[in-house]
Chain A
Amino acid sequence: MVGKGDLGLGDMDRRGGEWLRGGGPRSEIVISSRVRLARNLAGFPFLACANEDQKSEIVDRVKLPLAQLPLASSPYYVDVDDAAETLGSFLVERHLISRELQHGRGARGVAFGSDEAVSVMVNEEDHIRIQSIKTSLGLEEAWRTAVEIDRALESELDFAASATFGYLTACPTNVGTGLRASVMLHLPAMVQMKQIEKLFNAAHRTGLTVRGFYGEGTMASGDLYQISNQVTLAVTEEEILAGLEAILPTILDYERKCRDELLTARRVISVEDRCHRALALLRAARVLSSDEAMANLSAVRLGIVTGIVTGLDVEQVNELFVLTQPAHIQKMRGETIDPPARDAVRAAFVRENLGR
Chain B
Amino acid sequence: MSAMVCQSCGENPATFHLTEISDDAAPGMQTTELHYCEACAALAGLSQESAVPSMIANAVASVTSAADAAPTAEEEGLHCPHCGMTFQEFKRKGRLGCPRDYEVFSTPLESMLQKMHACGTPRHRGRVPRGPFEVRNIVGDRLLQLRRELHEAVAGERYEEAARVRDEIQRIEHEGIDIALEDGGRDSDPLAL
> Which residues of A approach B to under 8 Å, CB–CB?
40, 42-49, 51, 53-54, 98-100, 125, 147, 154, 158-168, 170-177, 179, 191, 194, 196-197, 200, 203-204, 207-212, 215-220, 223, 230-237, 295, 298
Contacts and interface: CB of A to CB of B under 8 A. Distances in A.
27 contacts: A42-B139, A43-B142, A43-B147, A44-B143, A46-B95, A46-B101, A51-B151, A99-B49, A100-B49, A147-B127, A154-B130, A158-B140, A160-B140, A162-B102, A164-B124, A168-B99, A172-B96, A173-B116, A175-B124, A216-B48, A217-B15, A231-B118, A231-B119, A233-B123, A234-B117, A234-B123, A235-B119
Contacts, number: 211
Contact of B126 (A53, A159, A211, A235): A235
Contact of A49 (B98, B122, B126): B98
A159 B95 CA distance: 18
A167 to B, nearest CB: 8
A158 B139 contact: yes
Interface string B79-123: 000111100000001111111011100000100110011110111
Interface of B: 1-4, 13-19, 29, 31, 33, 35, 38, 41, 46, 48-49, 51-53, 55-56, 82-85, 93-99, 101-103, 109, 112-113, 116-119, 121-130, 133, 136-137, 139-140, 142-144, 147-148, 151, 154, 173
Contact of B33 (A200, A220, A236): A200
Given A45-B83, A172-B56, A197-B3, A177 B126 contact: yes
A235 B84 CA distance: 31
A207 B31 contact: yes
B130 A177 contact: no
Contacts of B136: 42, 158, 161
Contacts of A194: 3
Given A167-B124, A223-B1, 19 more contacts: A42-B99, A43-B139, A43-B144, A45-B82, A49-B97, A54-B147, A163-B133, A168-B102, A172-B116, A191-B2, A216-B16, A216-B46, A216-B51, A220-B15, A231-B119, A235-B125, A235-B126, A237-B126, A295-B1
B173 to A, nearest CB: 8
Given A44-B144, A219-B2, A233-B117, A173 B56 contact: yes
A105 to B, nearest CB: 14
A102 to B, nearest CB: 10
